[in-house]
Amino acid sequence: MRPIPHARITPETLLRAYAMGVFPMAEGRDDPVIHWVDPLKRGIFPLDGFCISRSLGRSVAAADYEITVNCDFAGVLAGCADRDETWINAEIHALYLALHRAGFAHSLEVTTPGGLVGGVYGVALGAAFFGESMFSRRTDASKVALAWLVHRLRAGGFALFDTQFLTPHLARLGAVEIPRAEYHRRLEDALSRDATFTPAGYTPDRHSVRQRSTQTS
């Protein structure tokens, strides 16, 4: 990882970094140093390969939650940072808020009558979506958010869903790992295309989100 001089960090710098295939991280909430990261292996979600288990399918089909988009970006960002170990320091937090105001960073929220229980956020450039983080305050809430997000990205014409790293949790949902060179090839292709996070006429329902994904036992 390469530290970034403080004076050079702007929302525009962050967008250029994404276009180059690198992303920011801090060592912790209270660490002021931000690093560029370009892993040797990159995690991605094949948009036609999201896996929904039977139990997750039941969670997606449940009627006790609502999905909203870009309605509480600050709440999702705060939820993602609210953990013992986080790479989101104060400066990164402010940068993503700025990208959201500029229309590049987006959130998908899972809410119940009791409030926000899960969500995911990321950055969209061309037909590439860079998933940054997700959180859950109840069982399967972050997985439900991912299922709805993948459905939305397909509908909006996205070609690449970057998850940065591959974790066992993401692998069970269908994420895979590809070499750095292959990732950069796919990124270049995705950046040359157009996509939208808010496609016109897009009105998904629980059944379509559940059925458009790969069913597993």
- Strands of the sheet with 176-179, listed across from one edge: 66-69, 105-112, 115-125, 128-136, 160-164, 41-44, 176-179
Nearest to 72, CA basis, from 29, 23, 105? 105
- 64 has a pLDDT exceeding 60: yes
What value does the mean pLDDT take over residues 74-90?
Answer: 92
User: Picking from 26-35, 123-132, 207-216, which range would have the lowest pLDDT averaged per residue?
Assistant: 207-216
| Domain CATH number, residue 103 | 3.40.630.70
Which of the four pLDDT bands, split at 50, 70 and 90, describes residue 29?
A: confident
Q: Residue 58: which domain range?
A: 2-215
Which of the four pLDDT bands, split at 50, 70 and 90, describes residue 86?
A: confident
User: Picking from 84-93, 99-108, 182-191, which range would have the lowest pLDDT averaged per residue?
Assistant: 84-93
Nearest to 178, CA basis, from 188, 166, 167? 166
Supply the pTM of this predicted model. 0.92
What per-residue confidence (pLDDT) applies to 71?
Answer: 98
Q: How many domains does the chain have?
A: 1
Which of the four pLDDT bands, split at 50, 70 and 90, describes residue 8?
A: low
